[in-house]
Structure 1
Amino acid sequence: MVDAAPHSVLSVGATLGEGPVWVARDAALWFVDIKGHRIHRFDPALGVGRSWITPEQVGWIVPTDDGLFAVGLQSGVHRFDPADNGFTRLHAPEAHLPGNRQNDACVAPDGALWFGSMDDAEEATSGYFYRIHRGACVESGLPPVSITNGPALSPDGRILYHTDTLGKRIWRTELDVDGTVGNTTLFARIEDDAGYPDGPTVDAEGCLWTGLFGGWAVRRYDPAGMLMREIRFPVANITKIAFGGDGLSTAYATTARKGLDMTALTQQPLAGDLFAFDPGVSALPGHVATI
Structure 2
Amino acid sequence: MAIADPHSVLSVGATLGEGPVWVARDAALWFVDIKAHRVHRYDPVLGVGRSWDAPGQVGWILPTADGLFAVGLQSGVHRFDPAQGSFALIHIPEAHLPGNRQNDACVAPDGALWFGSMDDAEEADSGYFYRFQGDRCIETGLPAVSITNGPAFSPDGNILYHTDTLGKRIWRTDVLDDGSVGNTTLFAKIEDGAGYPDGPTVDAEGCLWTGLFGGWAVRRYDPAGKLMREIRFPVANITKIAFGGDDLRTAYATTARKGLDMTALTEQPLAGDLFAFDPGVAGLPGHVATI
- Write the distance in 2 (CA, Å) between the matches of 1:263 and 1:281: 36
Taking a change above 3 Å as real, the CA distance of residues 39 and 2 of structure 1, as seen in their structure-2 partners, is: farther
Alpha-carbon shift at residue 4 of structure 1 (Å): 3.5
Taking the aligned partners of 1:3 and 1:209, their CA distance within structure 2 comes to: 15
Which residue of 2 is the match for residue 101 of structure 1?
101
The one-letter code of the counterpart of 2:17 is G
Q: Indicate conservation of the 8 Å contact 1:2/1:276, yes or no.
A: no
Shift of 1:90: 0.7
How far is 1:246 from its partner?
2.4
Q: How has the CA–CA distance of structure 1 residues 249 and 40 changed in structure 2, closer, same or farther, with 3 Å as cutoff?
A: same
Alpha-carbon separation, structure 2, partners of 1:36 and 1:7: 23
Q: Secondary structure at the match of 1:246?
A: coil
Corresponding residue number in structure 2 for 1:135:
135
CA RMSD, 1 decimal: 0.7
Calculate the TM-score normalised by the size of structure 2.
0.99
The answer as to 2:208 corresponding to 1:175 is no
The aligned length equals 291
| Cα distance in 2 for residues equivalent to 1:186 and 1:89 | 35
* Letter of the 1:125 counterpart: D
Which residue does the alignment assign to 1:258?
258
| Structure-2 separation of matches of 1:111 and 1:243 | 19
For residues 75 and 170 of structure 1, the distance between their equivalents in structure 2, rounded to whole angstroms, comes to: 27
The residue that corresponds to 1:160 in the other structure is 160
Counterpart for residue 201 of structure 1:
201
Residue deviations 1:102-159 (CA, integer Å, cap 9, x gap): 0000000110000000000000000000000111000011010000000000011110
For residues 172-212 of structure 1, what are the alpha-carbon distances to aligned partners after superposition, in whole Å with 9 as ceiling and x for unaligned? 00001221100000000000110000000000000000000
Match of 1:29, SS? strand
1:76 maps to 2:76: yes
Unaligned ranges ≥5, structure 1: none
Relative distance call for 1:94 and 1:267 in structure 2 (3 A) is same
Deviation at 1:3, TM superposition (A): 5.5
Would you say the 8 A contact 1:147–1:165 is kept in 2? yes
The equivalent residue for 2:63 is 63
SS in 2 for 1:254: strand
Helix, strand or coil: the match of 2:62?
strand
What is the rounded CA distance, in whole Å, between the counterparts of 1:253 and 1:259 in structure 2?
A: 18
Give, in whole Å, the separation in 1 of the partners of 2:2 and 2:229. 18
Q: What CA distance in whole angstroms lies between the structure 2 residues aligned with 1:207 and 1:3?
A: 17
Mapped contact 2:174–2:181 kept (Cα < 8 A): yes
Once the two structures are aligned, what percentage of the paired residues are identical? 85
CA distance in 2, matches of 1:87, 1:278: 34
Residue 46 of structure 1 pairs with residue 40 of structure 2: no
- After superposition, the C-alpha distances for 1:47-73 in whole angstroms (9 at most, x for unaligned) are 000000000000000000000000000
In structure 2, the residue matched to 1:19 is 19
Q: Contact between 2:3 and 2:279, CA under 8 Å: does it hold in 1?
A: no
**1:125 matched to 2:125:** yes
TM-score normalised according to structure 1 size: 0.99
- The answer to whether the aligner puts 1:218 opposite 2:218 as a matched pair is yes
